[in-house]
A and B are shown apart, each in its own frame.
Chain A
Amino acid sequence: MFIIFLLIGISVTVAGCFLGAFLWAVRSGQYDDDYTPAVRMLFENEPGKAAANKPVKSEPAKA
């Protein structure tokens, strides 16, 4: 039955890690804006497109 103590210890630790990750995410501002990132991820990475049309080298988009 000792195994249950071990398992619960592990499960609480894992849950604690998730709590830590959540707090870190809030702290780093990920919950401040819940709209823009959803739009941003849909933008095409157009350096590839630009290279296909024109042989101009442009900086890769950092967005």
Chain B
Amino acid sequence: MEAALQTNIQTCYHCGDTCKEEPIVAHDKTFCCDGCKAVYELLEENNLCTYYNLDENPGISSKQPVVEARFAYLDDAGVEAQLINFRNDSICKLTFYIPQMHCSSCIWLLENLFKLNPGVAESTVNFLRKEVSLTYFHQKTTLREVVQLLARIGYEPAITLADTDGKKTTKQSRTIIYKLGVAGFAFGNVMLLAFPDYLAVTEGLQRTFGSFFGYLSILLSLPVFFYSARGFFTSAIEGIRQRMVNIDLPIATGLLALFCVSFYEIISGNGPGYLDSFTGLVFFMLIGKYFQQKTYDTLSFDRDYTSYFPVSIAVLKENGEEESVAVRNLKVGNRIRIRNQELIPADTLLLRGTAMIDYSFVSGESEPVEKVVGEVIYAGGRQVGESVELEVVKEVSQGYLTQLWNDSVFSKNEEQSVATYANVAGKWFIIVTLFVAAGSLFYWVPRDMDMAMKAFTSVLIIACPCALSLATPFVHGHTLRVFGKNKFYLKNTSVVETLAKIDTVVFDKTGTLTEPNAAEVTYTGKALLPEQEKAILSVLRHSTHPLSQRISQNLKGEAAEVQNFQEFAGKGLAGEVNGQMVRVGSASYLGVPTDKVKDALKTTVYVSLDGVVLGYYTFFNVYRDGLKDILSDLNDKKIAVLSGDNNHEEARLKELLGEGAELSFNQSPVQKLEYIQGLKEHHHQVLMVGDGLNDAGALKQSDAGIALTNSVTNFSPSCDAILDATAFGKLSKFLAFSKKTMKIILATFAVSLVYNVIGLSLAVQGLFSPIASAILMPISSLSVIIFATLSVKIAAKRAGL
């Protein structure tokens, strides 16, 4: 009793988990399992205990032992060559993705790997990308040894099929930073040279040095025109080619006019030109682009099955020996061995062993499905328990799930969305600009030819919608950050705009609306005495079967001693408690006649004491917290639920969602995809919320696909946004907020229009001067940036995000 009380407050020194069973005490410290203890000892031996001082209980639970034979494929020269980035006579360099990395202790330990394996020359962590770059001496150690070491200390790198595909993740593009640097440099220097022009008193000075300053400014502006501003011109030309007007067209026109007029004025000696405004504009607009580009590149939004499947698999040869074979080379008829926690890469037939397949990545259902010899097991499942032998019936690329990726949806290019606010505004902008420019030309030509040219070019210059183009990236960029703070990660800023237009929300049921790791357990039958309940609990405690664990979580009390405990795989449990025979299991195991089994669709577990069947436990889905609130907030939208499950929860769902919601059960991945397609054909803007691989098609097909996940670094299907499960209750707030940001953008447009009207009225009168431009342009850019930033922040505070 006392010991049990003590265990309640003890946590593992290594991983910080509460020790459920008897803790292992060693070196004056408690550990929850042998794995954690082994890691501690390894670190202690190598004098690496700083690991535990930097962060509290930083370790990763090592309850699942690492089967090192699993890494045999890394000895294969072909696999090694595909993983390594660089190799010479003595060293190899490569980068691993380590999703377990989570604190500064992790960084410290991973960068001190050389103390654990002297063959490692250097290891450098990029924490945000969760990557470690390793350099090792291939004469002193092997790739396999390095990976095994990482796995042993709890940081097993994620090496997947995608790593060997050759499509290495592209390095972050630095071009925008270069462009920004060049533009900033030119802006500062040209501004300095233009300064005398701003002050009327230095007119004499200007006359002496004017042309020198002018030529120097041109020299400084050339790289800005040809390098930094290049993107705006190419984008505008691209738009014209596709016969559409985007926001970059008026920008490019303005920049071109600005540069050419300045060039002409300086060469002809007519005036100082507008090069300070020109470089400043490019600089500010690049800041906007940079801000927009910085997204969550640490999270992967475009994963397909290859980033999920292992690189190789143990194939059994005819003489019974195992051989590591690349998953791609698996042939129909191959016999493979799958161990505990390994993934099944192809559709297979079970030959030997009891398979408990965890399809949580596929369907979101966390309860393992039991399969017996002779059954077909689809790819994507994870084996839990003993190792099993399987025969491949379909090649990896032909599998049930991989077929989904061969659907045309996945090969279609993401087309640039044309109807964004900015592009629509840009179109009107250029029409109005040309109209005003033509008008001023028409007015001035009969009166003053010089003035006509001046007014015409001034209109083109001032109408450059730079402030307009800054509004969208800043509003969206800040929205992205607000969402990120609330654990909702968008792929890029354009998703905000898509979310604002959503009118239909489609949910997956299992794992999305329901809590994957919880089930409501209800007991039906004769009332149980506390003693009887205790006896049942004691037996259930001995089983690792997920259903047993769920029931025992719902029963309170202390466990008593159990004798003659037996577990019959696929059937049930038996054990004696205080001389009472307790049996728990399926209806057929306890001999309940099938006609008495009322609801075959529900999962039920029967109990009997001394041969008398007392009753049964039924499992109900537990819906996520806050689901009711979300649904009532979304009442202006059409709601639908797609479930791969049977319809035994239909009544409960109807009650939750209301009569208007469409419910579809027994949906295959392809049916889900087609359902979304159908909605889109009726011009609905569809948001799909799903979590498993079986939703991947639907997520991709929908206008915006949100993948729900319990840990953002875990696998999630390809999507537009990743939502942490803990923030699920805020989903409706996110949608409402993205709508609000659209209003903020409109308000920002209005602000920038005020400047344009002032500028235009000066321009048509021919009063526009370099000074006016130098003042008006930075002020308009800055005020738009400040207005966008502040209004998003205030709106977020009001919305409670």
Contact with B along A17-53 (1 / 0, CB 8 A): 0110011001100011111100110111010001000
Please measure, in the bound complex, the distance between the C-alpha atom of A18 and the C-alpha atom of B185, giving whole angstroms: 9
Query: Are B115 and A36 in contact (CB-based, < 8 A)?
Result: no
Chain B contacts of A34 at CB under 8 A? 128
Q: Are A15 and B185 touching (Cβ within 8 A)?
A: yes
Q: Mark B203-218, 1 if CB is under 8 A from A, else 0.
A: 0000011001000100
Shortest CB–CB separation between residue B176 and chain A, in angstroms?
Answer: 10
Contact of B115 with A62 in the complex, beta carbons under 8 Å:
no
* Residue from B108, B185, B192 in contact with A43 in the complex, judged by beta carbons closer than 8 Å: B108
Chain B residue contacts of A18, Cβ below 8 A: 185
Interchain CB contact under 8 A, A62 and B114: yes
Q: Give the chain A neighbours of B208 by CB distance below 8 A.
A: 1
From B54, B127, B188, give the contact of A36 (CB < 8 A). Answer: B127
Instruction: Please indicate the chain A residues that have their CB under 8 angstroms from the CB of B115 in the complex.
Output: 58-59
Q: Does B447 contact A (CB under 8 A)?
A: no
Do the beta carbons of B181 and A59 come within 8 Å of each other? no
The residue of chain A having its C-beta at the shortest distance from the C-beta of B175 within the complex is: A26
Q: Whose C-beta in chain B lies nearest to the C-beta of A50? A: B47
What is the CA–CA distance of A19 and B172 in the complex, to the nearest angstrom? 21
Indicate if the CB atoms of B188 and A33 lie closer than 8 Å. no
Docked complex Cα distance between A42 and B216 (Å): 45
Instruction: Specify which chain A residues have a CB less than 8 angstroms from the CB of B125 in the assembled complex.
Output: 36, 40
Interface flags, B99-129, vs A, CB<8A=1, else 0:
0000010011001101100000010011111
A12 within 8 A of B: yes
Beyond A1-B208, A36-B125, whether A12 also contacts B107 by CB under 8 A is no
Residue contact A33 to B126, C-beta cutoff 8 Å = yes
Q: B174: which A residues are within 8 A, CB to CB? A: 26-27, 31-32
Q: For residue A58, which residues in chain B have a CB less than 8 angstroms away from its CB?
A: 47, 115
A48-B177 Cα distance, complex, nearest whole Å:
40
Report the Cα distance A45→B54, complex, angstroms.
13
Determine whether the beta carbon of B209 is less than 8 Å from that of A4. Answer: yes
Task: For A46, give its contact among B50, B182, B193 (CB under 8 Å).
Answer: B50
Taking CB atoms, residues of chain A closer than 8 Å to B192 are 11
B47 touching A54, Cβ below 8 Å: yes
Asked whether A15 lies within 8 Å of B104 as measured between CB atoms, the reply is no
B107: shortest Cβ distance to chain A, in Å? 6
Q: Give the shortest distance, in Å, between A4 (CB) and chain B (any CB).
A: 7
> Are the CB atoms of B111 and A63 closer together than 8 Å?
yes
Residues in A whose Cβ lies below 8 Å from that of B104: 39, 42-43
A8 within 8 A of B: yes
- A61 on the interface (CB 8 Å rule)? yes
A56 on the B face (CB < 8 A): yes
- Quick one: given A19-B185, A26-B178, A35-B128, are A40 and B209 in contact (CB under 8 Å)? no
> From residue B99, how far is it (CB to closest CB) to chain A in Å?
16
**CA A63 – CA B128 in complex, angstroms?**
18
Q: How many A-B contacts if CB must be within 8 Å?
A: 72
The docked-state distance in angstroms from the alpha carbon of A26 to that of B111 is 23
In the complex, A32 Cα to B193 Cα: how many Å?
A: 33
Looking at B129, B171, B177, B216, the one whose CB has the most chain A CB atoms below 10 A away is B177
Query: Does B189 lie at the interface of the complex (its beta carbon under 8 Å from any beta carbon of A)?
Result: yes
Task: Give the complex CA separation of A10 and B128 in angstroms.
Answer: 40
Number of interface residues of B (CB under 8 A): 33
Complex interface residues of chain B between 181 and 228 (CB less than 8 A to chain A) = 181-182, 185, 188-189, 192-193, 208-209, 212, 216, 220
Asked whether, in the complex, the Cβ of B181 is within 8 Å of the Cβ of A35, the reply is no
Residues in B whose Cβ lies below 8 Å from that of A43 = 50, 54, 104, 108
Question: CB-CB < 8 A to A46: which residues of B?
Answer: 50
CB contact under 8 A between A33 and B114, given known A19-B181, A26-B177: no
Q: How far is the CB of B148 from chain A (nearest CB, A)?
A: 22
Q: A43-B108, A58-B47, A59-B115 are in contact. Are A35 and B188 (CB under 8 A)?
A: no
Residues of B within 8 A of A32 (CB): 126, 171-172, 174
Tell me if B114 and A59 are in contact (CB < 8 A): yes
Distance from B58 Cβ to chain A, minimum over Cβ atoms (Å): 13
Chain A residues with Cβ below 8 Å from B216 are 8, 12
Cα–Cα distance between A15 and B107 once the two chains are bound (Å): 37
Cα of A51 to Cα of B403 in the assembled complex, Å: 60
Q: A33 — which chain B residues lie within 8 A by C-beta?
A: 126-129
Contact call A40/B126, Cβ cutoff below 8 A: no
In this complex, the member of B108, B114, B171, B182 whose beta carbon has the largest number of chain A beta carbons within 10 angstroms is B108
Contact residue among A5, A11, A40, A56 (Cβ-Cβ distance under 8 Å from B47): A56
Q: Are B185 and A40 in contact (CB under 8 A)?
A: no
Residues of B within 8 A of A22 (CB): 181, 185
Assess the B111–A23 pair: CB atoms within 8 A.
no
- Residue pair B47, A19 in contact (C-beta under 8 Å): no
Q: How far is the CA of A33 from the CA of B124 in the complex (A)?
A: 11
- Separation in Å of the A34 CB from the closest CB of chain B? 8
B182 touches A19 (CB 8 A): yes
Q: How far is the CB of A31 from chain B (nearest CB, A)?
A: 6
Q: Are the C-beta atoms of A36 and B128 separated by less than 8 Å?
A: yes
Residues of B within 8 A of A59 (CB): 114-115
A23 vs B188: C-alpha distance when bound (angstroms): 16
Tell me the complex Cα distance, A49–B47, Å: 11
Q: A interface vs B, CB < 8 Å?
A: 1, 4-5, 8, 11-12, 15-16, 18-19, 22-23, 26-27, 31-36, 39-40, 42-44, 46, 50, 54, 56, 58-59, 61-63
Query: What are 16 A-B pairs with beta-carbon distances under 8 A?
Result: A4-B209, A15-B185, A15-B189, A22-B181, A22-B185, A23-B181, A31-B174, A32-B171, A32-B174, A33-B126, A35-B128, A39-B127, A40-B107, A50-B47, A59-B114, A62-B114
Top 10 A-B pairs, shortest CB-CB distance: A19-B185, A36-B127, A33-B126, A63-B111, A39-B104, A22-B181, A35-B128, A26-B177, A35-B127, A26-B174
Taking A32-B172, A61-B112 as given, write out 17 further A-B residue pairs in contact, using a Cβ cutoff of 8 Å, ordered by the A residue number: A12-B220, A15-B188, A19-B185, A23-B181, A31-B174, A32-B171, A33-B127, A34-B128, A36-B107, A39-B104, A40-B125, A42-B104, A46-B50, A56-B47, A62-B114, A63-B111, A63-B112
